[in-house]
Structures are given as structure tokens and as C-alpha cells.
Amino acid sequence: AQTVTQSQPEMSVQEAETVTLSCTYDTSENNYYLFWYKQPPSRQMILVIRQEAYKQQNATENRFSVNFQKAAKSFSLKISDSQLGDTAMYFCAFSNTQGGSEKLVFGKGTKLTVNP
Amino acid sequence: EAGVTQSPTHLIKTRGQQATLRCSPISGHTSVYWYQQALGLGLQFLLWYDEGEERNRGNFPPRFSGRQFPNYSSELNVNALELEDSALYLCASSPGTWKNEQYFGPGTRLTVT
């Protein structure tokens, strides 16, 4: 079974600074997807970024980028120029590419606070 | 484009009762997923529906059930409610199996007293 581990329950960062959230996962599959979701206090879960395991290039979405290390099964999220609106719970998630098993497996989350 | 919608926002039930939660996916999405977000337990996969069929089920008892309608909206039913069923229930939809991207609704907060 796949597992996702986020080892940082809480983190804080000053506005405009950079912060990196860690995520490791365990799977025997070779092809899969990895995601970072953001859940602000208003609770709507928002997809931040997506990485396909067969792509070596790290995904980037504006201020959000990932460091995907397939051999190490590591998938960290870097937030540059942090903004107050980035305050939220961040969940790392794994999804198999095999049909019939497309549930998302989530980590426990990291609570990020951006301080003014 | 309208996002995933869920109703009701809040639901209060007593132990032993039944709860029905509803979800409307993004237009064009055929897959609907249900997750339970309970305090201290994180997000747990409940059910996945695609094209009206149940495709996968998480490790939950049979009193958690659901269905998907021809318009791809979905219903989650929880029978014989227990106190530990109190949680935020999130629905997500997906445009198709190959992308694996899931877009979430705002959730239904179920409280069992």
C-alpha cells in the first residue's frame, strides 16, 4: 500500500521569504502522480501543483515549485515570496496511474503560517 | 466555470440516524470521489464513482454507501450514525482517469451527537 509522510506538522515563515515543505512517499509503482493541495482556513481544498513521475523536470506554477527526487521518493514544495494568503494546511498526495485505483492518498498535512 | 458544489454545508444528526450528503461535480467531469476528513485522522478515501458505477472503496464499513446519478452528481449515505462519523466530508471530481487531477468542493461538516 502506498503511504505519504509529511514530517513537519507546523511551519512558519516571514512574508516575502521562501519556505520548503517536505514530503516522502512509499510505493512499488513506477508510474504515478504526486500533488500538493492547499486547504486555507475557509476549508476549500485547492490543487497547487502536480507532478507526473515519468517526467524528470520539476513542475512549477508561479511562486510554487517542487523538488521531485524519484529515487529518494521525495517530493518537496517550495513557496517563494511567501504571501499572507499562503497561510493554510498543505497536503501532499499520491495517486496511482493504474485504472481502478485512482484514489488520492494524503499525508497528514503541514500547517503553514505566513507572518507579516 | 462553476466548481464542485456540496450540500448541505452543515448537518447535525443524532447517533443511529441516517445522513445524506450531496455533490455536484464540475461540468464535464464524470468521476466523483468522497473523502472523510476527521480530526486527527487526516483525509481518508471513501468511495469513487465513475460513469454511474462504484469503482473503488476505501476501508469503511458498509453503512457508508453512495451512488452516482446519470448527470454525474453523487450522493453519500451514512446509516446508523456513530459519534466517530463526525467529520468534514469532501467531494472531488475529475475530468477523466488519465489526468488523475481531483478538484474539491467546500465539504459538508457532519456532526453526530
Set of chain B residues whose Cβ sits within 8 Å of the Cβ of A91: 43
Rounded Cα distance between B49 and B13, Å, is: 25
Q: Count of CB atoms within 10 A of residue A92's CB?
A: 26
B98 within 8 A of B81, measured Cβ to Cβ: no
Q: Are strands B5-7 and B53-57 parallel, antiparallel or unpaired?
A: unpaired
Write down the pLDDT at residue B86: 97
Give the integer Cα–Cα distance in Å for B33 and A37: 15
Chain CA centroid to CA A70, Å: 14
Q: Does B94 touch chain A (CB under 8 A)?
A: yes
A-chain CB neighbours of B103 within 8 Å are: 47
Nearest to A92 by CA among A9, A20, A22, A17: A22
Main-chain dihedrals φ then ψ at residue B95, nearest 5 degrees? -75, -20
- In angstroms, the separation between the Cα of residue B53 and the nearest Cα of chain A is 11
Q: So what's the pLDDT on residue B39?
A: 86
Q: Report pLDDT for A100.
A: 47
- Residue B64 has a CB neighbour count (10 Å cut-off) of 18
Q: What is the reported pLDDT for B1?
A: 67
Nearest chain B residue to A95 by CA: give it. B100
The pLDDT mean for chain A works out to 92
Residues (pLDDT < 50) of chain B are none
Nearest residue, CB atoms, A109 vs list B42, B103, B104: B42
Dihedrals φ, ψ of B104, to 5°?
-100, 150
Task: Find, in chain A, the residue whose alpha carbon is nearest to that of B42.
Answer: A108
Please write the tens of the pLDDT for every residue from A75-100: 999 999 999 999 999 999 998 876 54
Find the angle CA(A106)-CA(B13)-CA(B3) to the nearest 5 degrees: 45
Structural domains in chain A, sorted by start: 3-115 (2.60.40.10)
pLDDT at residue A54, rounded to an integer: 87
Domains of chain B: 5-108 (2.60.40.10)
pLDDT given at position A79: 98
CB-facing half-sphere around the CA of B84: CA atoms within 13 A = 5
